[in-house]
């Protein structure tokens, strides 16, 4: 059985494989990379690095999904980790 580590994803503790990359995490979460930004330990990542950056014990990952079309003012900002862009 593969060793697991603990990381934080959008503020919640989560276990993942010790050899997992950011790209592996996104695939596990069924998140397409085309319209997403990833912040790893307070640094925005370049998409080309997702499959090359291994996750480490205690890493903090914030995943921001961009949704076209915007939303009304009363729903913008609701839904942790999502940014509504027009």
Range of the domain at 56: 4-84
Q: What is the pLDDT of residue 66?
A: 82
Q: What is the pLDDT of residue 76?
A: 47
Q: What is the pLDDT of residue 2?
A: 72
CATH of residue 74's domain is: 3.10.20.30
Q: What is the pLDDT of residue 84?
A: 43
Q: Stretch 32-40: mean pLDDT, rounded? A: 93
Higher pLDDT, 66 or 43: 43
Rounded Cα distance between 4 and 26, Å, is: 16
β-pairing verdict for 43-44 and 12-17: unpaired
Strand ranges (E), 41-76? 43-44, 60-67
Higher pLDDT, 72 or 11: 11
Question: Model confidence over 62-77: pLDDT tens digits?
Answer: 999 887 775 555 544 4
Domain count, the chain: 1
β-pairing verdict for 60-67 and 36-40: antiparallel
């Amino acid at each position: 059985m593969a060793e697991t580590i603990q990381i934080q994803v959008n503020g919640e503790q989560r276990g993942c494989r010790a050899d997992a990359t950011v790209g592996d995490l996104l695939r596990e979460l069924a998140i397409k990379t085309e319209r997403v930004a990833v912040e790893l330990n307070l640094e925005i990542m370049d998409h080309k690095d997702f499959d090359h950056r291994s996750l480490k014990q205690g890493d903090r990952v914030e995943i921001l999904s961009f949704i076209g079309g915007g939303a009304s003012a009363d729903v913008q900002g609701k839904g942790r980790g999502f940014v509504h862009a027009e």
